[in-house]
Structure 1
């Protein structure tokens, strides 16, 4: 499984970018996003920027990944999923539409 990580662009030279996750720097391929200005947040997968994200999204993803690391180490997730804790479960739009139409099975 591949997990995307939020990265902030430090510099860009064409489709090659230098980015940081706050603890380390890495070269990333910007072929899918195109050249980006310094300060832009991206979701990186295996050395490639897959999409541009907001700073808020970057912080939420980083908090969730930190919570997962804590759980994997035997600890508590803390408030890593606070944005989900206060929400009731929601069906994806296509399943909500099927449910509203009275469908109960596939």
Structure 2
């Protein structure tokens, strides 16, 4: 299964952008969303920006994914209740 992850544009490059995400810098195709300014958050799905995000939404998604990863890794302090309905 593939998940789209929020990334933040750090450099515009015509129909591509260099973006910062949880796994570091990635090149993202911006043809579906159009060019986005530096600082804008987008959902990166398989190398393409699929949606433009507000910063608060991007940060909430990243926090939820971090807690999910902690739970998968067996962290007893992982708290999924903050982000996912039970």
Q: Tell me whether the two structures share a fold, i.e. TM-score over 0.5.
A: yes
Greater length-normalized contact order (CA 8 Å, ≥ 6 residues apart): 2
Following the alignment from structure 2 to structure 1, what is the Cα–Cα distance between the partners of residues 35 and 63?
27
Whether the aligned pair in 2 keeps the contact of 1:64 and 1:81 (CA below 8 Å) is no
Partner SS for 1:62: helix
Divergent runs of 4+, >3 A: none
State the Cα distance separating 1:2 from its structure 2 match: 1.2
Match of 1:58 in 2: 58
Write out per-residue CA displacement over residues 65-98 of structure 1, whole angstroms, 9 at most, x where no aligned residue. 10111010111423x552556xxx8xxxxxxxxx
* Alignment of structure 1 residues 25-40 onto 2, 5 Å: 25-40=25-40
State the Cα distance separating 1:14 from its structure 2 match: 1.3
Q: What TM-score comes out, normalization by structure 2 length? A: 0.87
Match of 1:10 in 2: 10
Following the alignment from structure 1 to structure 2, what is the Cα–Cα distance between the partners of residues 29 and 18?
9
Equivalent residues, number: 85
Are 1:21 and 2:7 matched, yes or no?
A: no
- For structure 2, list consecutive stretches of 5 or more residues without a partner in the other structure: none
Bigger Rg, structure 1 or 2: 1
Q: Which has the higher strand share?
A: 2
Q: What TM-score comes out, normalization by structure 1 length? A: 0.72
RMSD value over aligned CA atoms?
A: 1.8
Following the alignment from structure 2 to structure 1, what is the Cα–Cα distance between the partners of residues 84 and 22?
24
